[in-house]
Amino acid sequence: MNFGLTDEQQLIVDTVRSFVENEIYPFEAEVDKAGEVPHELAQSIMQRCKDIGFWACNMPESVGGGGLNHLDFTLVERELGRSSMALNHFFGRPSNILMACEGEQIEKYLMPAVRGERFDALAMTEPDAGSDVRGMKCSAKLDGGDWVVNGSKHFISHANVADFVITFIATGEEDTPRGKKKKITCFLVDRDTPGFDILPGYNSVSHRGYQNCILSFKDCRLPAGQILGELHGGFDIMNTWLYATRLTVAAMSVGRARRAFELTLPWCAEREQFGQPIGKFQGVSFQLADMITEIDAADWLTLAGAWRLDQGLPANREIASAKVHATETLAKVTDTCIQLHGGMGLMDDLPFERFWRDARVERIWDGTSEIQRHIISRDLLRPLGA
């Protein structure tokens, strides 16, 4: 066992860290206030990311990506997570589900995404189907050679800047011993497809400037060639490729928690009340001790989950543990960092109120904390027949 980073990993971490410090931190506050990312800023982050060869670093080298394994990519996400999601989105990491592209899809979707010419978004959630993905109502019926889609999706991240949306749609029902079950298919939907609209979503308290959208399908015709993977194979392709996205949330949460902590530690050494640094009061110092302990634990859980994926070991429970612990640690840490800054912690002159707001969504998206605990406990109890 070796808990150290290799020289390459250290260089990757250092490079992404300098990138976010120089190219993203200076713009975070203004993007948070404006609630949107200026076009030129997005373009410049994209260009700089491409210049240093980090664009699509998560995609295999065979398609022109950076070829990072799960562990190395998790280190990248951890460093990016220190920074605003509205902005680090332009440090392009296309969804690796695009590796399932076949035939003409490869030149139309996969390669342009890897080159940074086309942006993807990914849509599962609906107003009536959140945690229960299979409960989706957005459905497609075969008409001639085409699938005709009706329904809607919501909370679809960054669809406002997407050129196409990888969308999961119900394509029928099957009888199972436990009753009827929806069959799900994954489709590639171009932004300008007739009958398909990307509409503004809601204003979220977290990650202002990183927008979410509502998708509307009204008799939208999709040829069979738009199917990604197999017909009715939506869950298979989801399980194959989207299994690890929870690790991204965990890694980003670790990065942001550590940044908040690193900004708070020196404050506790310098801020004096009652004639001494507040860090000398045990009431403060023990909070620092608890924070770093939880952050390190979340960090190791996350990296271990990534390592398991690279080893081909079962990782579902471990990734769920990482996600739940990292996101809940982030919530505690950002709250404590505000507390230790006293009144100033609440003010938008300092970044802590933003970190605290941004932290809130991490326990909800990509599977809520409850769903992660469900996954963990089922993994423990199922083998016992309970």
Partner 1 sequence: MKILVTCKRVLDPYVKARVKADGTGVNLDNVKMAMNPFDEIAIEEAIRMREAGKADEIVAVSIGAAKTEETLRTALAMGADRAVHVVTEDDIEPLGVAKVLKSLVESEQPGLVIMGKQAIDGDSNQAGQMLAALLGWAQGTNVSNVELDGDTANITREIDGGLERLALKMPCVLTSDLRLNEPRYASLPNIMKAKKKPMDKKPIDELGVDTAPRQTLVSVSEPPPRAAGVKVASVDELVDKLKNEAQVI
Ligand X SMILES: Cc1cc2nc3c(=O)[nH]c(=O)nc-3n(C[C@H](O)[C@H](O)[C@H](O)COP(=O)(O)OP(=O)(O)OC[C@H]3O[C@@H](n4cnc5c(N)ncnc54)[C@H](O)[C@@H]3O)c2cc1C
Residues near ligand X, by CB under 6 A: 122-125, 130-131, 155-157, 204, 212, 271, 273-274, 278, 281, 283-284, 339-340, 342-344, 346, 361, 364-368, 370-371, 374
* Residues 60-79 within binding reach of partner 1 (CB under 8 A): 66-68
The owner of tokens 């928690």 is 257
For β-strands 120-123 and 164-176, DSSP reports them as parallel
The binder of 57, among partner 1, ligand X, none, by C-beta within 5 to 8 A per type, is: partner 1
Q: How far is the CB of 68 from partner 1 (least distance, A)?
A: 8
Q: 70 with 309: CB under 8 angstroms?
A: yes
Q: How far is the CB of 58 from ligand X (least distance, A)?
A: 17
272 binds partner 1 (CB under 8 A): no
* Residues 175-204 within binding reach of partner 1 (CB under 8 A): none
47 binds partner 1 (CB under 8 A): no
Residue in 3, 7, 176, 282 binding partner 1, rule: CB under 8 A: 7
Compute φ and ψ for 120, nearest 5 degrees. -105, 160
Contact region with partner 1 (CB under 8 A), list: 52-60, 133-141, 214-222, 309-317:
52-60
> Which of 12/123 has CB closer to ligand X?
123
The binder of 19, among partner 1, ligand X, none, by C-beta within 5 to 8 A per type, is: partner 1
Structure tokens that stand for 250 in this block: 């965990």
Contact region with partner 1 (CB under 8 A), list: 11-19, 112-120, 213-221, 314-322:
11-19
Residue in 30, 34, 43, 53 binding partner 1, rule: CB under 8 A: 53
18 binds partner 1 (CB under 8 A): yes
> Which of 8/128 has CB closer to partner 1?
8
15 binds partner 1 (CB under 8 A): yes
Residue in 28, 45, 54, 220 binding partner 1, rule: CB under 8 A: 54
Residue in 8, 173, 230, 296 binding partner 1, rule: CB under 8 A: 8
> Which of 52/347 has CB closer to ligand X?
347
For β-strands 272-273 and 276-277, DSSP reports them as antiparallel
Q: How far is the CB of 73 from partner 1 (least distance, A)?
A: 11
Helices 245-270 and 70-80: crossing angle, nearest 10°? 40
Closest CB to ligand X: residue number:
130
* Residues 296-355 within binding reach of partner 1 (CB under 8 A): none
> Which of 105/339 has CB closer to ligand X?
339
Site size toward partner 1 (CB under 8 A) is 18
CA distances from 117 to 46, 56, 112, 113, 163 (A): 10, 11, 5, 6, 9
Q: How far is the CB of 327 from partner 1 (least distance, A)?
A: 27
293 binds partner 1 (CB under 8 A): no
Positions that interact with partner 1 (CB under 8 A): 7-8, 10-12, 14-15, 18-19, 51-54, 57, 66-68, 266
